[in-house]
Amino acid sequence: MTRYVAQRLLLGVVQVLVVMTGMFFLTEALPGDAAVTIAGDNPDPAIIAALRDRLGLNEPAWHRLGDWLAAALHCDLGHSLIGPRSVADIVADAAAPTVLLAGLTVVLLIPLSLGLGLLAAHREGSRWDRLITGSTIGLYSAPEFAMGILVVTVFAVQLGWFPPTAVGTSLAGNPAVLVLPVFVLLLRPICSLSRLVRAGMIDAQRSDYVQHARRIGLSPVRIRLLHALPNALAPSVQQLARTVDWLVGGVIVVEAIFVVPGLGTTLAAAVAARDLPVVQGLAVLLAATTVLVNLLADIAARALAPAAEGVR
Amino acid sequence: MKTARGYLLPVTLFAVPLLLALIGPFFASGDTTKDVPFDANGRLGTDFVGRDVWNEVLLGGRSLILVAVAATICTYVVAVPIGLIAGMTRSRGLDEVLMRPLDLLLAVPSMLMLLLLVSIAPQSVWLLVGVVALINLPDVIRISRAAALSLSARPAVEAMRLQGESRIRIGLGYVARSMRRTLAADVGTRFTGATYLIASASFLGVGISPQASDWAAMVDRNRGGLFVQPWAVVVPALLLVMMAVGANLVFDRMLRGTAR
């Protein structure tokens, strides 16, 4: 186990480093650089050359990559090309709404998908099972923005139950604003997770050890929750980690629909304005989060079902 | 009879947007005269610049489908050979060299990768196709590797080897052919996944030209008129959701049909 954890940790560090290097060279390969962007409407070659000198852009690429990586380790991600603020400041300001949205989604996601999965697996082929399985298969890859806009049209515009956007309110102070975005964010991960829980439970209930537990007369509830469930959960834990991937995508889209000033809107704006330091900083942050969550999930899955060797 | 009825809803859900997307452009009028923006009169009213919404709906589905199909094909063309080699090779080193880079791809969230690569580089449809194919690559490589691995452990393959068949002939003639079913079962997931990514990117305004007629872009651009003229937003959004739900249900039914 210790060896596995060490190996996974090493892989995680390598992943983050490679992503950072990749980001650096991707922006390096683009036409123009920070000096040209800052010079903007005043593309005087002399000014650009002076800016390059001041920003250290004339040093060799690998040298600057080293500087950038070293600075990033100290949470210094450079300065925005537009406006006076540092990337770390911008990210810190935008993080709160996103963390609230994503965190709330994950907190609700786990009990909901467990409940739905267990309900569907309770009796295979029952009406509940067909209803849950059918809707989770169908809605699995419905784009969030389309679902989001339909939900807004029905519940905000027609029925007026919830506000259509988060404009002018703080998310934390007004829970009604959160209902629709979190609902939309939940849809996709719930579909995949509850299906995995269902499949895992059905498999586990057919397995030898559950048959044996039945024969020696353990209560069905005990068999289900104490014996079948932990084994059924191992694949779900890893899938839970992969939902981080979807949450990142979902958050970008959902923040755009509901006009939430979070990391997604910041990223979209920075990409549109070609504010590369901000884009780089956010990309590194999101990639590092993904790597970390996957790392934790792999270790947790390994602890839950040690027999499932080789599952990565 | 029961199976036919089971197909009715999924096929309808899938076929309506699909047909509209594919043959819609033939029925669209080339008349692009602009009217009053967000006018709710007429069939579906007008959009944010005063174009006829019904006409835009007819035009706006084709590119999404074509790009998704192209991306799915590209994924398989690249992924299956890699998976086949990794699964059949006896050299552990080669296997590692082919499979390790995939761990790195998984470290970048797919939407982030799409947003970065497509928006930073100069705009072209093929770039979008390539990036979506790249995002789907790791999963398909893993699936084909796993299939090739279990197939090449079969006695039939061992027998062919003993008979002196070359590895290429075994690979293409037996293993690749036997992989067909596993791969066919997976195509649906990749297609809906590709559609999801492309539509979401278009919604964010990435990889699409500002004048293009596109369902996902319609949702974004007409959002401002949601209170006055909801049709310009609701119709394309509904078509996209119908297509995703229908496609998933159809592919799932087909899969369960072949599994029996």
Contact across the interface for A134 and B111, Cβ inside 8 Å: no
CATH number of this structure's domain B62-211, picked from the four choices 1.10.3720.10, 3.30.70.1140, 1.10.260.40, 3.30.1330.30: 1.10.3720.10
Contact across the interface for A137 and B193, Cβ inside 8 Å: no
Rounded Cα–Cα distance for residues B154 and B172 (Å): 15
- Place B260 in a pLDDT band, splitting at 50, 70 and 90: very low
Find all residues with CB under 8 Å of A195, minimum gap 6, and list them: A117, A133, A136, A137
Contact across the interface for A141 and B196, Cβ inside 8 Å: yes
Contact across the interface for B107 and A16, Cβ inside 8 Å: yes
Please name the residue that has the structure tokens 């990033």: A72
Rounded Cα–Cα distance for residues B226 and A26 (Å): 38
Structure tokens at B19: 């047909």
Residue A116 sits at the chain B interface (C-beta within 8 Å): no
Contact across the interface for B240 and A143, Cβ inside 8 Å: yes
Mutation target vs A (from B100, B115, B134; most A CBs, 10 A cutoff): B115
**Residue among A243, A210, A182, A186 nearest A121 (CA):** A210
Q: Which residue of B has its CA nearest to A139?
A: B245
What is the number of alpha carbons within 13 Å of residue A25 lying toward its C-beta?
Answer: 6
- This model of the complex carries an ipTM of 0.80
- Place A159 in a pLDDT band, splitting at 50, 70 and 90: confident
For residue A310, the model assigns a pLDDT of 44
Find chain A residues with C-beta within 8 A of B115's C-beta: 252, 267-268, 271
Hey, where are the domains in chain B? Answer: 62-211
Find chain B residues with C-beta within 8 A of A16's C-beta: 107
CA separation, residue B29 to residues B22, B34, B51, B54, B221 (Å): 15, 13, 11, 10, 21
Looking at residues A67-94, what average pLDDT do you find? 75
Find chain B residues with C-beta within 8 A of A30's C-beta: 120-121
Quick check: A38 pLDDT over 70? no
Q: Answer yes or no: are the C-beta atoms of B164 and B132 closer than 8 Å.
A: no
The string of DSSP codes covering A17-42 is HHHHHHHHHHHHTSSS-HHHHHHTT-
Structure tokens at A234: 């191992």
Distance from CA of A137 to the nearest CA of B (A): 6
Contact across the interface for B195 and A144, Cβ inside 8 Å: no
- Place A311 in a pLDDT band, splitting at 50, 70 and 90: very low
Contact across the interface for B219 and A146, Cβ inside 8 Å: yes
pTM: 0.82
Q: In this predicted model, what pLDDT tens digit does every residue of B66-102 receive, in sequence order?
A: 889 999 999 999 988 888 888 777 777 787 777 777 8
Interchain CB contacts (distance < 8 Å): A and B: 146
Q: Answer yes or no: are the C-beta atoms of B251 and B192 closer than 8 Å.
A: yes
For residue B160, the model assigns a pLDDT of 80
Mutation target vs A (from B112, B221, B242; most A CBs, 10 A cutoff): B112
- Place A31 in a pLDDT band, splitting at 50, 70 and 90: low
Contact across the interface for A149 and B237, Cβ inside 8 Å: yes
Which of B112, B196, B238 comes nearest A150 by C-beta? B238
Residue A180 sits at the chain B interface (C-beta within 8 Å): no
Contact across the interface for A249 and B200, Cβ inside 8 Å: yes
